[in-house]
Structure formats: C-alpha cells, structure tokens
Amino acid sequence: MTLKKAVGQLHLWLGLASGLVVFVVSLTGAIYVFQDEIRDATEPWRWAAAPAAGAPLPPARLQAAVVARHPGAQPSWTAYYGPGRAATVAFADRAGAQYLAALNPYTGQVLHEQNLRRDFFTIVEAIHTSLLLPPPVGGWAVGVAIAIFLVLLGTGLVLWWPKRRHERLQRLRVKWGAPWRRRNYDLHQVVGFYVAAGAFVVALTGLFISFGAWQQAASTLANAGRHYPLEEIPPRPAPLAAAGAPSQPLLDAVYRQVRQRSPTADMVLIGPVAGPREPVYCLAYQRALHYYHRDEFYFHPVSGRLLRALPHAGKSAGKKLGDLNYDLHTGQLLGLGGKIVALLVSLICASLPVTGTLLWWGRRHKARPRPAARGAAVPVPAR
C-alpha cells in the first residue's frame, strides 16, 4: 500500500467515525453565529431606553426585583450591557429551573423571563457543545470529534495535492456538467480545499473550548513557556480572612468598584457570592457582546475588598490569546464580515461529512455491466 492510499484509508475511516458529530456541531454552530443579531431583532425585551440623566440601578436592586416575583429564587450572575440595553439576572427557582430575567436597568422593571430549558438558542448551544448529553460526556465527545476533524483537514490536503503541476487547476474547479458522482467528488475535494484555512481556525478554537488543557498549552506557547500564576490561579482561601461586611450590599460595593476601575466598559458581569471562602468574580468588557477586551476582578466575599485585578492592558500574550478565543471562534472579532465567513465555513464543514459519505457509498455501489442473456450474440470488437 502506497503512502497516499494509507492516508486515504485513514481519512475514510476517521471521517465515517466522526462524520455525524461533525455535521451536528457544524450545523448548530452555523445557526448560533448570528444569535445576538436574531435576538435583537425578535426579542424587544433586550432593549431599554436610557434616560437623559441617571445611572443604572445596582445589582442588589435588580436581584431584589426578581426575588420579589419568585420568592425563594437564587440569583447568580447579573449583567449590564451598556446604554439602551436591558440588564439580565440569571436565577434558579425553587424547583431548580434555570431562568434569565431581562430588566430595565434604570427602573428595575422586569421586562421578560426566559426558561433556559425552552430557549431555542440555549438548546442550540447545548447541542453544539455537548450534544445534549451530560456536559462531561458530551463535551468530551465533541472535543474528540473536533480533534479528528483537524486530522481530516490535514489528510484531506494530502489527498487533494496533485502529482503533476498542470493538474492543480483542475483540482480548483467543480465540473458541474459531469455525472453526479463526479460533481459530488469535486464538491468534497474542491470546496474542502477552499475552506481548509477557515475550518482549521474554527475547529482549533472549538477544541480549546472543549479541552481547557489545550487552551492552557496554547497560552504557555504564546508566553514562550513562562507561567503567570496570578492569571492562572484565582486567589486562594488563605487571603480571605474574616472581615467586616460593607455598609452597603456586598454586590453593590463590588459593582461600584468595577465601574470605578473600568469606567469605559460597556458590558459588566457581576458574579454570585458562592460562599465565605470563594472570591466574587467579575468581568468588565470594553464592548457589549464582544468578549476579547476584558478586565477581570476578584473580591472578598465578606468585605467586598478587591483581592486581585487583571486589567486587559497588563495581561500576558497567552492570556490575551485565551480571551480572544470566543470572538475568533464565532468570527465576531472581524465584525459582520467575520461572522459571515464563520457562517459559510460552518455550513461547508457540515456538508463535508455528507459529500464524503456519498463518495464512499458511491464507490461501494458502482454500476456494474449486466451479464449478457443466454443465447444473445456477443459483440466482437472490430480489428
């Protein structure tokens, strides 16, 4: 068996093994790319007119408005998305159902409540990341399929590469007038070649989301092997000595400090108080719904004192690379054009398992000439 035939066999069986997962993950990824734009156009509760003067209400007030409607509810994350947008409070009711409440950040009025188990894009995201399986199992399955897909991109390029230079032009065009098997072969091969670079970026960043160890390895590589413990390890319980509570609600004290330290941030996320020995984690993003440029903060869960600040400007190259991963994965790093590219790449990646399976099936079931009937004259080739 030649090397190229061995590569072909590897490409075939890895593709058949991972094809269904790659198809589902790619298709749901394509649906999810424009979820913010679709939500903005179809969910009016995501908007709230900003008054001429006045600041948003602090998080304790917003959470109190939610608890007033759902006694016994457990609020978690509170998020502000900038002028003109509603704030949100994530919470669990007494039965454990997860909700996301949208509120007017200036009046505290609850505009809408979403049951996340029934929200379309939340379900799409769950399929995309874990196939609706338990996250440890589903996330592992998706991660392995993505890793296989990266290998398929490499073996596919080896199979695409022609032996003769003059044949390269033929490998860059689809023969639309050919029989369907030839068209399918060209679609799998030619389209796969054109999308390879974009598919590699989308798949690699998706692999980083599935396997945090890979992301950490990439960050270490970007840092030339240096480690930054303050970026990698949250404050430990040791510094969280007993302290007096602040004069105002804890989350309000935390929110005030985040606003003071990141005054130009559009989007601010205030984390929950998980316990007396766990720091309160908060993030401030420069642009709403963009996740790269962000400042991170850890606060004392009793006193609200700042324990650690990680401003974007002071982060290492590896940490910035990790912060960039989501925006790179979805294409929104490059704005609308980047999202369109991510959409097209995802759709084409979803088509590759289909055309590849049809290619394999067609080769296994080639049309064979029927044997001549008994007594029929057998044609003799002319000399």
pLDDT tens for each residue of 285-333: 999 999 999 999 999 998 899 999 999 999 999 999 999 999 999 999 9
Find the angle CA(120)-CA(121)-CA(126) to the nearest 5 degrees: 100
In a domain, 71, yes or no: no
Lowest-confidence pick of 58-62, 168-172, 259-263: 168-172
The arithmetic mean of pLDDT across residues 54-69, rounded, is: 96
In a domain, 168, yes or no: yes
Residue 154, φ and ψ in degrees, nearest 5:
-70, -45
Site of tokens 């602040």: 246
Strand order in the sheet with 110-115: 110-115, 98-103, 87-92, 74-80, 267-270, 280-285, 294-299, 306-310
In a domain, 219, yes or no: yes
pLDDT higher than 80, residue 165: no
Residue of 371 and 103 predicted with greater confidence: 103
Lowest-confidence pick of 166-180, 214-228, 277-291, 368-382: 368-382
pLDDT higher than 80, residue 87: yes
Average pLDDT, the chain: 91
> Which pLDDT band holds residue 172 (cuts at 50, 70, 90)?
confident
The arithmetic mean of pLDDT across residues 115-134, rounded, is: 97
Lowest-confidence pick of 128-132, 311-315, 368-372: 368-372
The Cα–Cα gap between 130 and 151 comes to: 21
In a domain, 2, yes or no: yes
In a domain, 126, yes or no: no
The arithmetic mean of pLDDT across residues 191-198, rounded, is: 94
On whether the pTM is more than 0.85, the answer is yes
pLDDT higher than 60, residue 208: yes
Give me the domain span that covers residue 140: 1-48+132-228+331-363
Number of domains in the chain: 1
pLDDT cut 90: percent of the chain above it: 79
In a domain, 335, yes or no: yes
> Which pLDDT band holds residue 53 (cuts at 50, 70, 90)?
confident
Quote the pLDDT of residue 363: 82
In a domain, 319, yes or no: no
In a domain, 220, yes or no: yes
Tens-place pLDDT, residues 257-288: 999 999 999 999 999 998 888 999 999 999 99
The Cα–Cα gap between 350 and 234 comes to: 38
Quote the pLDDT of residue 382: 47
